[in-house]
Structure 1
Amino acid sequence: MTFSWTPHRFSGGALALDVANSVVLRFDPMQRIDRYADAKTMDSFAEAANVHCAERDRTGRLAPVAAARRRAFIDLREAIDGHFRAEASREGTPELLAALLEAIADTLRHSGASSGALDAATAHSALRLAVNAEPDRLKICPNCGWLFLDKSRNRSRTWCDMAICGNRAKASRHYYRHREETGP
């Protein structure tokens, strides 16, 4: 099956969150899809991030993760998801923060001259998020479970992407409301 990275896949508001969101239906073992399970799809993420990522002006031109660093990149992704998901749920722990900082340090230590690589840029993004944390802006989409930054003025954003998840939620509510009115 072919897959393309669309603008919706970059609705997290930060590169680190977009990377964490590369696992679709993360908590459903029967339907879970890891977009990085395929090396070509992982490599194509860097190119798509150059076009769609909210932080593309900060990251410069991103290159794919080196083959030898793919496992460490997945570890970084999981540490990002673990820490920021807990923070969004107001359940953060020092252990999750320590795991994130260790993954960031490992990535930056080994990125060396390849600072334009996706893994180094992701580590920098995660570090910016951790340092400049505004917990009330970090949210979890109730439809898909993705992490996103609520950059709205009044901090009222509900879905990662109104055009996708917001419409699905509204259509679902309409369907069930109509079904109750008309009967089965």
Structure 2
Amino acid sequence: MTFTWTAHRFAGGALALDVANSVILRFDPARRIDRFADVPALDGFAGAANRFCAESQRFGTLLPVAEPNRTRLLTLREATDRHFRAQAEAEQRVDLMADLLEAIAAVLRGAGNGGDAVALDTATAHSALSLVANPEPDRLKICPNCGWLFLDRSRNRSRTWCDMAVCGNRSKAKRHYRRSKEEAQ
């Protein structure tokens, strides 16, 4: 199956959250899909992030993760998801913060200096560190439709879905279907 990274896949508002969101239906074991389990999809993520990620300007050109560093990126992805998901649910877990900082440190220790280009794992570590250093807990949310993490950058902090065009429409369509079905009975 061929997979294409689209703008919707970068709805998190920060590279670290977009990387964490690379696991589809994370809490449904029967339907869970890890987009980074497919090496070409993982390699393609950096190129797509250059086009679609909210932080793409910040890091310059993102390069795919070198093969020896992929495990560290996956460890960072999971630590990022656990920590920021707990934070979005108003849980302050020191152990999750420690795990995240250890994962960030492991990636940064293995980082090379690529000049104007930065490897995806290094940029993700910097993005996660930025989210830790400048917390905005009232802006960090979990999409009620797909479960993705995202930053609510709306002025009044009222954004509900990661992407209105996808999750918002699905939610509204479900609600409409239920109402029409109830009215028909």
TM-score w.r.t. structure 1 length?
A: 0.98
Q: CA RMSD in A?
A: 0.8
One-letter identity of the residue aligned with 1:47? G
One-letter identity of the residue aligned with 2:169? N
The C-alpha deviation readout for 1:113-156, integer Å capped at 9, x for no partner, is 24700000000000000110110000000000000000000000
| Mapping for residues 11-160 of structure 1, pairs under 5 Å | 11-114=11-114, 116-160=118-162
> 5+ residue gaps in structure 1?
none
Query: Equivalents in 2 of 1:174, 1:112: separation in Å?
Result: 52
SS in 2 for 1:178: helix
Query: Equivalents in 2 of 1:44, 1:154: separation in Å?
Result: 35
Query: Equivalents in 2 of 1:113, 1:170: separation in Å?
Result: 47
Pairwise CA distance, 1:112: 2.4
> 5+ residue gaps in structure 2?
none
Q: Kindly, what percent of the aligned residue pairs are identical?
A: 67
One-letter identity of the residue aligned with 2:108? L
Query: Equivalents in 1 of 2:47, 2:112: separation in Å?
Result: 21
The C-alpha deviation readout for 1:145-180, integer Å capped at 9, x for no partner, is 000000000000000000000000000000000100
SS in 1 for 2:51: helix
The C-alpha deviation readout for 1:91-113, integer Å capped at 9, x for no partner, is 13000000000000110011122
- Which residue, 164, 168, 171 being the options, matches 1:169? 171
SS in 1 for 2:63: coil
SS in 2 for 1:155: coil
Query: Equivalents in 1 of 2:92, 2:141: separation in Å?
Result: 13
Query: Equivalents in 2 of 1:140, 1:92: separation in Å?
Result: 16
The C-alpha deviation readout for 1:42-77, integer Å capped at 9, x for no partner, is 000000000000001101100000000111110000
One-letter identity of the residue aligned with 1:17? L
One-letter identity of the residue aligned with 1:32? R
TM-score w.r.t. structure 2 length?
A: 0.97
Query: Equivalents in 2 of 1:137, 1:49: separation in Å?
Result: 22
One-letter identity of the residue aligned with 1:118? L
Query: Equivalents in 1 of 2:128, 2:59: separation in Å?
Result: 12
SS in 1 for 2:110: helix
